[in-house]
Chains A and B, each alone.
Chain A
Amino acid sequence: MNNRILPYIQVLVPLLLQVAFFQYATLFQGWWYIGFHLLGLLLIPLQRAAGWVLIISGFIGMVVDLATFEGGLFMSSALFMGLFVPLINRILAPREGYEITDQPTMASMGMQWFVARTWLLLALHHLWMFTWEASRWDLVLIAWGKALTSATLTTALFVLVMLLVQSRRKQR
């Protein structure tokens, strides 16, 4: 596939899947929320400027909000996550820094890097989102529990998805 189009597809496909299929997927009585559109956010190229990451995050969140009538909650959470993408990238950067060809995928950066980055960013996203959704101090501990559980299970899901996608690419 054309390398210039691939980043857009990587963002748009998870977004479409979230809107079409996963928007009502809340499993285990709310303890696992699948935010599939966040995979697209995680796959934004490492070299993308922080401002662009924010704008793309806001756009992705806004589309999900419009589709689910959640009124700003996903946009706000995606923006919060997008703010931390450059920081987490910097923290997890290899000693010699990123190569120009490095991609935020398991194939490019390894499973450990991918899992750590995915879990940290998803945890930040979910903590922000569930806290706002709870909006009450007496519910906030349960909300944080759900956020961390969802982040862990969604990280596992994304690892599986990446393994599947990568294996297909390898076959190709």
Chain B
Amino acid sequence: MRNLWNLIAQYHVALLFIVLQGVALSWFVSSHGYPRGKWVKRTMEWQGAWNQTRSQWLRLGDLDQLNQELLAENASLRAELFALENGNNRTQIGSAEVIRSTWTQAANFFVLNKGLKDGIAVGQGVLQGSYAAGKIIEVSESFALGLPLVNQEIEWSARINAAGPVGRLKWDGHAIDRATLLDIPINAQFSPGDAVLTSGFQGYFPPGMVMGHVAEEPAEFDGQFLSVPVVLAADFRSIRYVEISNMEDRNELDAMSSHLNQEAP
């Protein structure tokens, strides 16, 4: 407090000048039309600019919440769409956010911010928008670990077009947006740009989800089958908000197929 008084005593002339000048200029500005108009205009400009900036900040703050709400709404609408298109409502779709992800390794993975308490379970499919992106392989109370399509240690059941031949989709570990569809019969009819869809056989995804499309490069023939190059639809570099597909009758189907002790292609 004493320092404050010392400071005021030291600069009392400057402070007195500022106070008296403030009074004089306020009086001047309020009593003269032109300066008053200029002042009002300037003040309105400052106030407008400040309000705009503040509004932008507030919008940015709300954006995350808005994204979550939109994601949940998207998931709900997609589930309804599946039910309408396929005539059943056995596929439930939820939403989650990717909080950790790799795309430069041979065994890439991602971690979601939802777990057992949110209804996430092992074997559920992960969608980016309407594109198949991966599956859940491990779940804790609050988090889930998943493998993306771009993982060399896993194969995915896929078909070309809605009624085309089924093959194994495998990432070769090179380009992040490329994979190869193996075991396609030589007599299969397809052309570049044709959709590569989930077969639904593995139970991770409902059938008909887009995984990618047939690339321009010619398919390779290994003597028995064709290896078809595929451009993946999901963007694994920018993956953040995802949807989780839960096929209700998956456990029942798995139980039946386990009697045969074989996995679907």
Judge if B189 is at the interface, Cβ distance under 8 Å. no
The CA of A132 and the CA of B148, in the complex, are separated in Å by: 69
Using A75-B27, A76-B28 as known contacts, say yes or no to A135 and B35 having CB atoms under 8 A apart.
yes
CB distance from A132 to the nearest CB of B (A): 7
In the complex, the answer to whether A71 meets B30 with C-beta atoms within 8 Å is: yes
Point out the residues of chain B lying under 8 angstroms from A83, CB to CB: 13, 17
Check if A72 sits within 8 Å of B24, measured CB to CB: yes
A61 in the interface (beta carbon within 8 A): yes
> Is A58 an interface residue when CB atoms closer than 8 A count as contact?
yes
In the complex, what residue of chain B is closest to A74 when comparing beta carbons?
Answer: B24
Interface size range of chain A in the complex: 20 to 34
B27:A79 contact, CB within 8 angstroms: no
Is the C-beta of A50 less than 8 angstroms from some C-beta in chain B? yes
- B24/A54 in contact, CB under 8 A: no
Complex contacts, B23 vs chain A, CB 8 Å: 72, 75
Contacts of A70 in B (CB 8 A): 28
Is B26 a contact of A72 with CB atoms below 8 Å?
Answer: yes
Q: Which residue of A lies closest to B13 (CB)?
A: A50
B44 lies within 8 A of chain A by Cβ: no
B21 within 8 A of partner (CB) = yes
Count B interface residues, CB 8 Å. 19
With both beta carbons as reference points, the residue of chain A lying nearest to B28 in the complex is identified as A72
Nearest CB on B from A100, distance (A): 22
In the complex, chain B residues 14-63 whose Cβ is within 8 Å of any chain A Cβ: 16-17, 20-21, 23-32, 34-35, 38
Decide: B16 and A75 in contact? CB cutoff 8 A: no
- In the bound assembly, the distance between CA atoms of A71 and B12 in angstroms comes to 26
* Contacts known (A71-B30, A135-B35, A135-B38); A58 close to B13, Cβ less than 8 A: no
Docked-complex contact B16 and A55, CB < 8 angstroms:
yes
Flag whether A51 is at the interface (Cβ < 8 A).
Answer: yes
Binary B-proximity of A115-136 (CB < 8 A = 1, otherwise 0): 0000000000000000010011
Query: Are the CB atoms of B24 and A51 closer together than 8 Å?
Result: no
A135 and B34 contact, CB distance less than 8 A: yes
Contacts of A65 in B (CB 8 A): 27
Q: How far is the CA of A50 from the CA of B31 in the complex (A)?
A: 29
Is the Cβ of A79 less than 8 Å from the Cβ of B21? yes
Residues of A within 8 A of B24 (CB): 58, 61-62, 72-73, 75-76, 79
B38 to chain A: which residues have CB within 8 Å?
A: 135
Asked if A158 lies at the interface with its beta carbon under 8 angstroms from chain B, I say: no
Please, which residues of chain B bring their CB within 8 A of the CB of A75? Answer: 20, 23-24, 27
Please indicate the chain A residues that have their CB under 8 angstroms from the CB of B20 in the complex. 54-55, 58, 75, 79
Where the two chains meet, the residues of A that have a C-beta atom closer than 8 Å to any C-beta of B are: 50-51, 54-55, 58, 61-62, 65, 70-73, 75-76, 79-80, 83, 86, 132, 135-136
15 sample A-B contacts, Cβ–Cβ < 8 Å, listed by A number:
A51-B12, A51-B16, A54-B13, A71-B30, A71-B31, A72-B25, A72-B28, A72-B29, A72-B31, A75-B23, A79-B20, A83-B13, A86-B13, A135-B35, A135-B38
